Structure 1
Amino acid sequence: MVAFGKYLQRKQIEEWRGYYINYKMMKKKVKQYAEQIRGGSQHPRHVLKDFSRMLDTQIEKTVLFMLEQQGLLAGRLATLRETHDAVLEQPDISKIVELRESYRDVGRDLLQLLVFVELNAIGLRKILKKFDKRFGYRFADYYVKTRADHPYSQLQQVFKHVGVGAVVGAISRNLHELQEHEGSFYSIYDQPVLPLQDPVVEAIKTAVDKLTNSTSFLNFLAQHALIMQDDLQTPSEDTIDERTYHFNSLLLNLGNTFLYMVNTYIIVPTADDYSMSLGAAATVCGVVIGSMAVAQVFSSVYFSAWSNKSCFKPLVFSSIALFIGNLMYALAYDANSITLLLLGRLCCGLGSARAVNRRYISDCVPLRIRMQASAGFVSASALGMACGPALAGLLQIKFKIYKLTFNQSTLPGWVMAVAWLFYLVWLCISFKEPLRDTEEQEGSNPNETTSMTDREENSRAVEEGLRKPLLITSGLKLEDEDEEDCDESEESAEDSRRPANSFGDAYRLLTPSVKVQLLIYFMLKYAMEILLSESSVVTSYYFGWTTSSVAIFLACLGLTVLPINILVGSYISNMFEDRQILLTSEIIVFIGILFSFNLFVPYTVPQYVISGLVMFVAAEVLEGVNLSLLSRVMSSRLSKGTYNGGLLSTEAGTLARVVADATITLGGFLGRNHLLNATLLPSLVICIGSIVATCCTYNSLY
């Protein structure tokens, strides 16, 4: 950890030194403002006005220099274009090679300019954060809102990068022409399916994407996993040895994710029939389904702690617990015991190893494929969610072997027990326990370990701003204070790098906007669980649907997950801000819930299907955008340890499922004719609360 002021000085280009934001001067001004307000010599309103004017001046200086440099780069490209045309008329290999290198030189200079923008963006974000922390104001919200949305905003020059995009396009197109057949082939516009694979252009595109928060389907899908990690780390700094990475172990980890989601949803279409066959009410299906989530609330914590030491043993325990739980679930029918049924589902919940699944990807998968692995985790969950009900719909047979009954109620338990048994055998044969950091260090030279640590500390801050959108609230992992102006002791600085040691510590690290996002996550999981868990009871009462019909409906809902994420990740998230998509999705969820009520007219299948589809799809969009925001703005201390960001989101979602399933069971006491409205009303209230909370923190969701 180094002071940001010193880091900024070290990374500045000497010739450009006068055009960087003067972070050190502004930091001293903040200290002076505090002393003046404390002494009564300055009114807070005058301080805000003076500080705003100073920031405007600093940003203007930086932006005008950036535009000047873009103009110089454009001039160089125009000159190269004249040479380029001459080379195309009379191709010469040596001239093509020389021209190509000249274009790459322009690209390298552009990359240097992007780093310049990055450093200034970090400095601006940090000084705003420091000002708010010192005075207790929400000045950053006001400043960004008033400057970013103004038609003459100079902040927009940094946000949009219009000029940069034009320069990137010119370099890319011209290099592509020179690449194909020595300058005599088509342009990038004629063959968009064959993109240019030039390392300089790729580096520039990556830098621009990081600064503008541009995203892709793969990146958007990977963020669903909320696998918290060090945002400063780059592939060249990856500490995971490629030789210790084991692909089969990753597949087994994803297999656990898939099977667990199948196990969760395979009983949904038949849980009401199973409950009635054991003498309970149909609405007890809420307790049957929710008991797995109740156990998961506790299992997530001990699995998260266990994953600090091992991944193999927790996965083995998970498989055994799920095997036993499914056996108990299947045997409850012949034992005529609702207690055994619930115990079986509780045992399945105790085997929830999703914390281990996330931890394996974040700690044991190389950075170059971590995004793909995270996307695989989310895809496995989505496919499991769709396959569970679909498989239940296929198990519509009945037979007996000795005293054991196999029917649509018990077959999900038997099938999953066999699946987990096969998985356990495959796990024991093929899984390779990853080498933990402590084991690596014990076998290495102490001097080498120290030097490696030093190299990591020195290089980790290189691409900070490029990895985050401008002015997000998570902050750079550098100390805010220089030696001459230190607000915190060495001990507190050390504490700021440690992971949270309890839920209390983790909660104290959450900003108001992050708390609102966790509330939104709770709301959407609650609404989705109500829709899915009571579907068999509601549809059989109103429409007389069979188990197969319910299974098809739920499977179709599950199959919308990946297409919706493709649409949002590839297009919508690049057209609108995350906070805009967030609020719009909440409003659509509200409309879907409102349209689902059975009030004055007879309830129809189109009303139920359309409202359910609208609610589910909007909630899925909301989940992706919400977790995308969370993964960027959560404290870096929540990227590691037992009580990490992934665990917090899992607990919020699991609690939502528990409360939703309890609501279904309690609503059953009012009768099946009132169940739908009784369960939708809490969903509506929570949704309204989340919309209000989002509006209250809207300006901080950047």
Structure 2
Amino acid sequence: MVAFGKRLKERQIQEWQEYYINYKLMKKKVKQYAHQIEIGTIDRPKVLKNFSRMLDNQIEKIVLFLLEQQGLLASKLTKLGEQQDALEERPQISKITELREVYRGVGHDLLKLLFFVEMNAIGLRKILKKFDKRFRYRFTDYYVKTRANHPYSQLQQVFKHVGLGAVVGAVSRNLHELQDRQGSYLSIYDSPSLPLQDPVVDSINAAVDRLTHSTNFLNFMAQHALIMQEELPAPIEQRIDEEKYHFMSLLLNLANTFLYMVNTYIIVPTADNYSMSLGAAATVCGIVIGAMAVAQVFSSVYFSAWSNRSYFRPLIFSSIVLFMGNALYALAYDLNSLTVLLLGRLFCGFGSARAVNRRYISDCVPLKTRMQASAGFVSASALGMACGPALAGILQTNFKFYKLTFNDVTLPGWVMAIAWLVYLIWLWFSFKEPSRVFVENNSPLASNCEKAEKSKLEKDIKQPLLITSEEKKEDDEDPEADESEETPDEFRQPATSMVSAYRLLTPSVKVQLLIYFMLKYTMEILLSESSVVTTYYFNWSTSTVAIFLACLGLTVLPINIVVGSYISNMFEDRQILLASEIVVCIGILLSFHIIIPYSVPQYVCSGLIMFVSAEVLEGVNLSLLSRVMSSRLSRGTYNGGLLSTEAGTIARVIADATITVAGFFGQSQLLNITLLPSLVICVTSIVATCCTYNSLY
């Protein structure tokens, strides 16, 4: 597999090659400077000065060419505008159709220019990252901080395509006005009209969104799934064979995700009562809830490895184990055994197939619907999180059938056991295992260009939004890569263990994983101890706790709509990230019980602030994580998705253990003791974010 620099050159527009960033030259310079520093012929300040000047010159070359091309496009649009004005006086359908095609041609030229800017932005980010890694110096932080807002800097031209907005607007507006006019010449600004259905404009908007990281609700939700994007935009869209895509199998994957989240949270409102009914303290609910997360730490790894060979078999195994786990959980009451209770929850954790669910979406769903499927994955999780406690609130009954007891603490287990049994039958008869040839060929790098559809638009600009976990053979992360642009196979292979995966983590990636750990820890503390805390302070019933937790879960989708559609387009991801961390910290501070009597408004408001801000934080955190993470972690068993899942799962385990340990100090101290680690971790993550802020550019 070719290296990054060679792939960058292959995807360049041939006639514009001399105006691209000279990635190969700069890569050689990085190696040359490293050697000169080792032998003492040059000092670090001079290296920084020379390399900064090189970057400035490269960016200036790009920007001047960009301005020249913008001028040519503007000139074409001016002439077309004159022709369009003439048609206002004497409209002719044939002339309108002809003019529209000419505008589309300008649109194709604009797409080439946007593609040019995007390639250079990727190359610039890549060389900055390489310099930081080679010299163990935060050069990116320095360079971005000094150039981003300086009046003479041209950095924003590359990263934000300043000036191209007017050209984009002109092409889009005029194509819109010419669409199906047929004698109607009302302005698009004065009357409502159907959305513009033109692939050129759609592609322009998609290219602009990639450059500015603009998002919509679907995109923002899809980011939560951490299905990473390819660094280099592909000039030809590679499509999955629609006949081999099986919608029912995708639906079964999403159903598995939903049921698992219901299974996770359905016991939260009653776990303390169940513990006490078996003779344990109420705070043992932390261990009961956390046992599932403990097992998930291990199940995530073997399910991730298993999904390299099959999807059907691990899902079958998952359903059987979850059925057994829930049955054991329900039987523990009549057996009067805390051990059986914990064993049942461990079994449920061993059945966590989220790694399979994620891999199926990335490997087997067509590119054009993969974003929707990723958003569906996250939405199913959010809905399950809300439905779990709500279902527990409904299951308020008490009766015996033979020797089995059915009450508010055992019914969650019985209901979920039946649900998994029904799912297992549905899965057995409806799931279609994709062929391994199909999965292996589902790669924009592996497929042959001639097999793709050959429209001019697709050839020039279309980029897959998401890639599979087996793609992106990338060698450029290795600091020893030489100027030959080829590296040994071991430097291009995915990580083979957690240790090797950890070695690929840069400081900015570690900070993002720390943030993910923090938000999962905080949310788990809030949710898992809610029943104990509210019973102690407010004497809430199980139904009241269930309603509170369900309401928290129901905020997930509305908040993501607001953030994905509006806030993320008004502010940079790193700005939202830092602001969300600060708001989480404020929520934690407001939750402490200090002197004054603890009230329901204080608990509800602080909990809502923590939960909502943590949910916002999760989206932008995973979005940034996918951009700063090594591309070698985008495939294989030990991928970025697994690392983030493990970080979140370990956070939940530690949070639930904290609740149980804090229980030894009495329920009166439980709230403050469990909130203190949350506050410390949150403050640490804020400080770490500030230290790596400019590397998140």
What's the TM-score, normalizing by structure 2? Answer: 0.92
2:673 alignment partner, one of 667, 675, 678: 678
- Equivalent position SS for 1:371: helix
**Partner of 2:74 in structure 1?**
74
**Partner of 2:170 in structure 1?**
170
CA distance in 1, matches of 2:119, 2:283: 58
Q: What amino acid maps onto 1:653 in structure 2?
A: G
Query: How many percent identity over aligned positions?
Result: 75
Q: Label 1:610 to 1:463 Cα distance change in 2 as closer, same or farther (>3 A).
A: same
- Equivalent position SS for 1:181: coil
8 A contact 1:207–1:466 mirrored in 2: no
**Partner of 1:496 in structure 2?**
491
Q: Label 1:10 to 1:622 Cα distance change in 2 as closer, same or farther (>3 A).
A: closer
CA distance in 1, matches of 2:603, 2:529: 12
**Partner of 2:692 in structure 1?**
697
**By how many angstroms is 1:465 displaced?**
9.4
Q: Label 1:400 to 1:190 Cα distance change in 2 as closer, same or farther (>3 A).
A: farther
1:508 equivalent to 2:499? Answer no
**By how many angstroms is 1:461 displaced?**
12
**By how many angstroms is 1:489 displaced?**
9.1
1:668 alignment partner, one of 660, 663, 670: 663
**Partner of 1:95 in structure 2?**
95
Q: What amino acid maps onto 2:668 in structure 1?
A: N
- Equivalent position SS for 2:400: strand
- Equivalent position SS for 2:621: helix
Q: What amino acid maps onto 1:400 in structure 2?
A: K
**By how many angstroms is 1:5 displaced?**
5.2
8 A contact 1:238–1:366 mirrored in 2: no
- Equivalent position SS for 1:184: coil
Within 5 A, what are the aligned runs for 1:380-529?
380-437=380-437, 452=447, 486=482, 492-529=487-524
**By how many angstroms is 1:509 displaced?**
1.1
**By how many angstroms is 1:349 displaced?**
1.0
1:225 equivalent to 2:225? Answer yes
**Partner of 1:446 in structure 2?**
none
**By how many angstroms is 1:160 displaced?**
2.7
Q: Label 1:609 to 1:129 Cα distance change in 2 as closer, same or farther (>3 A).
A: closer
**Partner of 1:196 in structure 2?**
196
Identify unmatched segments of 5+ residues in structure 1. 442-448, 469-474
CA distance in 2, matches of 1:87, 1:478: 52
CA distance in 1, matches of 2:461, 2:129: 20
**Partner of 1:140 in structure 2?**
140
8 A contact 1:303–1:355 mirrored in 2: yes
Q: Label 1:543 to 1:477 Cα distance change in 2 as closer, same or farther (>3 A).
A: same
2:627 alignment partner, one of 603, 610, 632: 632
CA distance in 2, matches of 1:478, 1:384: 37
8 A contact 1:217–1:566 mirrored in 2: yes
Q: Label 1:33 to 1:227 Cα distance change in 2 as closer, same or farther (>3 A).
A: closer
8 A contact 2:237–2:464 mirrored in 1: no
8 A contact 1:582–1:626 mirrored in 2: yes
8 A contact 1:121–1:465 mirrored in 2: no
Q: Label 1:187 to 1:507 Cα distance change in 2 as closer, same or farther (>3 A).
A: farther
Q: What amino acid maps onto 2:561 in structure 1?
A: I
**Partner of 1:590 in structure 2?**
585
CA distance in 1, matches of 2:606, 2:190: 44
**By how many angstroms is 1:692 displaced?**
1.4
Q: What amino acid maps onto 1:486 in structure 2?
A: D
1:295 equivalent to 2:295? Answer yes
Number of equivalenced pairs: 684
CA distance in 2, matches of 1:451, 1:590: 46
1:134-175 Cα offsets, whole Å, 9 max, x none, are 433322221122111223421112233342111111111111
8 A contact 1:232–1:463 mirrored in 2: no
**Partner of 1:19 in structure 2?**
19
- Equivalent position SS for 1:182: coil
Q: Label 1:23 to 1:272 Cα distance change in 2 as closer, same or farther (>3 A).
A: closer
CA distance in 1, matches of 2:514, 2:679: 14
**By how many angstroms is 1:420 displaced?**
0.9
Within 5 A, what are the aligned runs for 1:269-284?
269-284=269-284
Q: What amino acid maps onto 2:373 in structure 1?
A: A
CA distance in 1, matches of 2:241, 2:72: 43
CA distance in 1, matches of 2:14, 2:520: 52
- Equivalent position SS for 1:405: strand
**Partner of 2:252 in structure 1?**
252
CA distance in 1, matches of 2:246, 2:191: 37
> Considering only aligned residues, what root-mean-square deviation do their CA atoms show, in Å?
2.8
**Partner of 2:540 in structure 1?**
545
**Partner of 1:150 in structure 2?**
150
**By how many angstroms is 1:234 displaced?**
5.5
**By how many angstroms is 1:324 displaced?**
1.1
Q: What amino acid maps onto 1:271 in structure 2?
A: A
**By how many angstroms is 1:480 displaced?**
5.7
Q: What amino acid maps onto 1:263 in structure 2?
A: N
